[in-house]
Structure 1
Amino acid sequence: MRAKRVCRAPLSGSDEATIEDGDMVIDEKADLETRTAQAVEELKSALSSQGKGAQKKKIEALRAVRRVLSQSEVPPIQVAIKAGAVPLLVQYLSFGSSDEQLLEAAWCLTNIAAGEPEETKSVLPALPLLVAHLGEKSSTLVAEQCAWAIGNVAGEGADLRSTLIAQGALWPLARLMLSSKGSTARTAAWALSNLIKGPDPKAAYELINIDGVLNAIIRNLEKADEELATEVAWVVVYLSALSEKAISLIVRSHVPQLLIGRLLASENLQLLIPVLRGLGNLVAGDEYMVDSILIVGNSITDQALSSLIKCLKSDNRVLRKEASWALSNIAAGSFEHKKLIFTSEATPSLIHLLTSAQFDIRKEAAYTLGNLCVVPAGSTEPPNIITEHLVSIINGGALPGFINLVRSADIESARLGLQFLELVMRGYPNGQGPQLVERGDGIEAMERFQFHENEAMRNMANGLVDKYFGEDYGLE
């Protein structure tokens, strides 16, 4: 959804503050294609113009192409490409051209790059000049429009990202993210998030090592409007997903506190998703985050828990899933962290999700609830059970949800369900665990693995049935 964007209105600060007269949405496909072909032909003619009025003719020709690529619901990109627009636009990007000409040419290329994959690839010949015009000698408006075009190209795929990185796009985009002009910093951050999204982690590693980048992230998360903070949060998401060095630097900065603050204060879904995902990456990626920042008793930890509970209760499935995942990693920490989550509103919310949410959310909720019930033992020993937590979670209605996981076709989820049933049968007080599992049709769920092709699952399930429901089961 975020990868590529059509530019339909002038950039903030340009001479065209509003849509021009004549820039009406064109609906008739045949008329639009005819106008597009004519506009490209005029673009070619204007390029060779000399003398008085030549520059004005070039700008008018560029605007005509830009209009047909901007004002239609389905821009005629393929028609423009077939008519030869791209090589012409590359010539219009030549050094020494006026800012107005550069801006219009980059705008046209931005919208061509927003098209289908092959249409985006057609912009390849323009990339060296688009990257060059990101430089310090370019006006802010020209650099911002070129950043938008590059962001669209980067959003298309890993090969094009590699090409852009090889052509030197990373550093000047990082410099633009430092801009005091909000729209420029926002466009640069968006383009950077597309450029570093992988799968190769090299760009993320290089970005976090550029002087001033971490400070820019901190400043924009702290003071910027929600639109800019959203784009910067996506940069944090990809940095923390792809680079251990980035995670280490970020968790030791003020970023975690700022993410938590944004998560707690905002109701903007577009902002909440990357903020929560970035926070989840940090919690999962570096033990320092849980052990040294989310210390039980600190106000920041209480704020983090409150914000995650808010997301668990959200109507948005992405927020519910990401919050469950983040909590599962916190719940894997110390006994104090487990106790903090267990005694909060998170526990009944997680039980509700386990028994009623979509499958992917149920799975994450199950991980969290399971982590709340155990503390690690020796490397070869089963985990020690926190009986109070286990009993309360079972009494809260979680057992049917775990038994349903055992029935899942997803092996990881079925294993998670079996592991929890083992805790119940081993640790529920007064030996009542097997009876609870039996009453919930847990035996039937486990027996589906009796002849299963997965040897580990077959052995695990059969072992539990033999151990807890063998020939002595039910005898006093």
Structure 2
Amino acid sequence: MMIGQHSSSLGGRRLPTPAMKFEDFMPLPLQESAAPEGLSLMSGLCEDQQRPRTPLSAKQTAANRARRGAGLENMAPSALKLTSPTKSPTKSPTKSPMKSPGKENDEQVPRKRKCVLGADNVEVDGVSDATQFVRVGLARDRSQEIRVNELVEKLLKGEPGRRLAALSGLRKALAAQSPPIDEVLNCSGAAEVLALLVAELRGAGLGAAPGAQGLEAAWCLAQMASGNSEQTRKLVEAGAADAALEALAAPTLPESFELCERCLQLLANVAGDSDSSLRDNLLSAGVVGVMGQLFEQMPGFSWGASAREQVLQTFTWLMSALCRGAPAPPLEEVDCAFDFFSQVIQGTGDTQMLSSALWGLCYLLEGASKDAEGCTRAARLLAAGYESGKVPTPPAVHPLLQQVVRCMRTAGDRRSPLPPAALRLTGLLVGLSEPALTDAAIVAGALGALHANLVDTFAPSQVRRDSAWILANVSAGTPAQAQRLAEEPGLVEALCEGAERAPALKVRRECAWAIANLVKQGPEMFLRLESRRVLRLSSITLRGESDNSLKRATLDTVEMALRNEKQVGRVGIAEAEESWSLVNELKVLRLAQEGILSRKADQILSTWFEAPHESAVEHGEKCGGDQGEDESANGGVNSPVRRAKYKFGA
């Protein structure tokens, strides 16, 4: 399949692109590589506004897990402080088919971002776990509960002219470090409060100009939607999401970018919930069409640069949330996101927008159930904005992949959210079976960026691990791809150093896979890899490795290195220093319970280091008659190769 091909069988829409460009919406600095001429921000998004909207369903399945919450609420750009999510240790990568996002990498885009009141009542952004909002079995903060009840009473029984003060008080209460979402939703007048907030939001969209009460109500609803699934479902059933959609489609929207941003945040919290049915109901209600209408009209709004930036950041977050989740959304509902994310990556330098766009593309690719569908989606990605037959193919550099490679570089910044997302996207492309995708990544400069990440001691271990894993998949590709890797200056040496001295086991493991895959490409690889060093690295891998698949591949590497020593005419390998620890590891494996490992180790020992009768007697006593697939006869051609797709966070 050629990169430029696009299959209509997936329901994707290839619509004419309007003349508008991304810089028409926000004067952000462009990257060095300009986007292709005529590339639209969203191909097909504006057309979706013609589809009729249906009210959101109130029937949702139960779920109570963390998801992305309200962010950037009621803040000036100068006060914005994003905290990077913490990463919990996980098992190192395994060779399993590409599945839905794994826990470790999925945490790179936190579903939960709330606003809290700091010093001098200045609201700052934070990341927290949604489960803290349901304090089952724990004593409630009575003062907070009393305060909420007082505010609710003022809202429901107070004079209409004083309602703004009560709404403002509720907003500030919800901006606490532990927002009292449960208290608000379970108070005696909860249904009336939600109805009032929804009515105020609807009124903000229908009035001559959005009022302060409507803005406060929108903020409160967006913050409460940052709770758990049960809390978010109550808001949806009360009509909060429908009211936000109506406000975004109202003719008075240009009068207030704050109202636009709050409504987008509310919808992003609903779409990002762990209960994917909430997201699906938003799609059925026509959220993409409403976004298309907003996008089409936004260039004519009299908003300043800062306001456009805030709105577009939340807009991109919402689009990414609509592509996220398991099961994946129907591709025909979110196909236009390929064009949108492509334009964002090529047209802006805003870190938050770039991160959301990169993760959005990852979610779209991971939505494929099979490798063939993944290849089709990847082709759709690279074809975004191009006419049929005009997609850049190697040796031409694809502008989108060039920007992804730039985002991949860490430059020692552990806090940057871009490298994990860019690495994940690159890994998904390289992990697919279509060789042209890996070729396109190589031509775009991926090998140099991966090399830089691998040797960067300041980079997080996950970034170094993922870089080594992608290199392992490249080395397991076509002979030409493996040769390109071997010819990259200093890269083979970096892999050897990583396999031997990297502090993290998961980094050493991936480097060992890369070396094993390179050696399996043929004897010519020993022009770059000195065979005795390969033997020493193999003994290190066998000593500290618990993965039997990697052990099997390493034993094949040992055998090929020994054959190379013989072919080049070197003698005395059995007495060489490199063989001392290797022989000990082979003797340990000879006693292993895994029959294939045991027989392979015994075959290497008997062929290269021992007399045949010594091995036969000892091996027969220890291993008995266990029979299985014998890989030694063909040099291990059936041993595992690191070409399998990677399940992130497995």
What is the TM-score when the length of structure 2 is the normalising length? Answer: 0.59
CA distance in 2, matches of 1:184, 1:339: 46
Q: Which residue of 2 aligns with 1:197?
A: 324
3-state DSSP class of the match of 2:202? coil
Deviations 1:296-332 (A, max 9, x none): xxxx33xx22221221123311211221122222223
- Aligned partner letter, 2:169: A
Instruction: Kindly indicate whether residue 216 of structure 2 is the aligned counterpart of residue 104 of structure 1.
Output: yes
Aligned equivalent of 2:143: 31
* 2-structure distance, mates of 1:432, 1:160: 68
* Alignment partner, residue 306 of structure 1: 448
When the two structures are aligned, how many residues end up with a matched partner? 437
| Stretches of structure 2 lacking an aligned partner (at least 5 in a row) | 1-64, 78-116, 124-139, 300-307, 369-373, 385-398, 613-650
Q: Please tell me whether the aligned partners of residues 410 and 419 of structure 2 are also in contact (alpha carbons under 8 angstroms).
A: no
- 2:597 pairs with one of 432, 438, 461: 461
Offset of residue 176 of structure 1: 5.7
Q: Are positions 1:351 and 2:496 aligned together? A: yes
1:93 is matched with 201
Matched, 1:153 2:278: no
- CA 1:92–1:160: 2 relative to 1, 3 Å: same
Match of 2:335 among 203, 208, 215: 208
2:280 maps to which of 147, 150, 162: 162
Alpha-carbon distance in structure 1 between the residues aligned to 2:479 and 2:292:
41
C-alpha contact (below 8 Å) 2:322/2:334 kept by paired residues? no
Q: Deviation digits for residues 313-372 of structure 1, max 9, x if unmatched?
A: 233112112211222222233434323333433223323332334333333222222222
Higher relative contact order (CA 8 A, sep 6+): 2
Give the letter for the 1:82 counterpart.
N
Compute the displacement of 1:472 (Å).
8.4
Retained in 1: the 8 A contact 2:587–2:602? no
CA deviations 1:8-67 (Å, max 9, x no partner) are: 651559xxxxx8998479xx9443332222112222235xx6xxxx3x533332222111
**How big is each residue's C-alpha offset from its partner over 1:124-171, in whole Å with a ceiling of 9 and x where there is no partner?**
222332334343644443232122122223333133333333333344
Q: Deviations over 1:184-238 (max 9, x none)?
A: 121122222222123233345532336xx51553244433322222222222222
Query: Shift in Å at residue 255 of structure 1?
Result: 1.3
- 1:177/1:184 contact within 8 Å kept: no
Letter of the 2:465 counterpart: K
User: Cα distance, 1:443 vs. partner?
Assistant: 1.4
- Going from structure 1 to structure 2, the CA distance change for 1:9 and 1:141 (only over 3 Å counts) comes to closer
- Please list the CA deviations of residues 46-97 of structure 1 after superposition, one character each: whole Å capped at 9, or x if unmatched: 5xx6xxxx3x533332222111001x11111111111214344233333525
SS at match of 1:202: coil
Distance 2:179 2:607 in 1: 73
Is this contact kept in 2: 1:354–1:362, CA < 8 A?
yes
Counterpart-to-counterpart distance in 1, 2:340 and 2:281? 27
Larger mean CA deviation between 98-107 and 260-269 belongs to 260-269
Change (3 A) 1:189 1:387: same
Equivalent residues of 2:221, 2:266 under 8 A apart: yes
Secondary structure of the residue aligned to 1:199 is coil
Match of residue 585 from structure 2: 442
**Matched position secondary structure for 2:417:** helix
Corresponding residue SS for 1:373: helix
Question: Is 1:241 aligned with 2:366?
Answer: yes
1:333 to 444, 454, 477: 477
What corresponds to 2:430 in structure 1?
283
Superposed CA RMSD:
3.6
In the aligned structure 2, how far is the partner of 1:258 from the partner of 1:186? 18
Gaps of 5+ in 1: 14-18, 376-382, 453-457
**1:420–1:121 distance in 2 versus 1, CA, 3 Å:** farther
From 175, 182, 185, the equivalent of 1:78 is 182
| Matched residue, 2:173 | 68
Change (3 A) 1:472 1:396: closer
| CA 167–393 in structure 1, closer or farther in 2 if over 3 Å, else same | farther
- In 2, the alpha carbon distance for the partners of 1:256 and 1:152 equals 30
Alignment partners' CA distance in 1, 2:574 and 2:332: 51
Aligned-partner Cα distance in 1 for 2:118–2:409: 41
Letter in 1 for 2:172: R
Alpha carbons 2:248, 2:263 under 8 Å: kept: yes
| Native 8 Å contact 1:89 1:109 kept in 2 | yes
Give the 3 Å change call, closer, same or farther, for CA 215–146 of structure 1 in structure 2.
Answer: closer
Match of 1:322 in 2: 466
* Residue 622 of structure 2: aligned partner: none
Superposition misfits of 4+ residues, deviation over 6 angstroms? 19-22, 431-435
Aligned amino acid, residue 425 of structure 2:
G
Q: Which residue of 2 aligns with 1:373?
A: 519
Task: Give the structure 2 partner of residue 5 of structure 1.
Answer: 69
Of residues 245, 248, 261 in structure 2, which corresponds to 1:131?
Answer: 245
Inter-CA distance 265–359: structure 2 relative to 1 (3 Å threshold): closer
**Distance in 2 (alpha carbons) for counterparts of 1:416 and 1:198:** 35
One-letter code of the match for 2:343? I
| Alignment correspondent of 2:227 | 115
Contact 1:77 1:112 (C-alpha < 8 Å) held by counterparts: yes
SS in 1 for 2:405: helix
1:396-430 CA distance string (max 9 Å, x none): 9522342135x40x444444444434444554445
Amino acid in structure 2 at the alignment position of 1:350 = L
Per-residue deviation at 1:464?
0.9
Q: Which letter maps to 2:483?
A: K
Q: 1:291 to 1:305 in 2, by over 3 A?
A: closer
CA distance in 1, matches of 2:293, 2:244: 15
Distance in 1 between the 2:585 and 2:271 partners?
Answer: 50
CA distance in 2, matches of 1:274, 1:105: 34
Residue 420, structure 1, aligned to residue 560, structure 2 = no
Name the amino acid aligned to 2:271: A
Whether contact under 8 Å (1:446, 1:461) holds in the other structure is yes
CA distance in 1, matches of 2:590, 2:419: 42
Q: Structure 1's 167 and 39: CA in aligned 2 closer, same or farther, altered over 3 A?
A: same
CA 227–172 in structure 1, closer or farther in 2 if over 3 Å, else same: same
CA distance in 1, matches of 2:320, 2:226: 16
Change (3 A) 1:445 1:202: farther
Q: Deviations over 1:415-449 (max 9, x none)?
A: 44444344445544458777756632221342353
3-state SS, counterpart of residue 122 of structure 1 = helix
Q: Which residue of 1 aligns with 2:314?
A: 187
CA positional deviation for 1:388: 2.6
Q: Work out the CA distance in 1 between the residues paired with 2:66 and 2:442.
A: 31
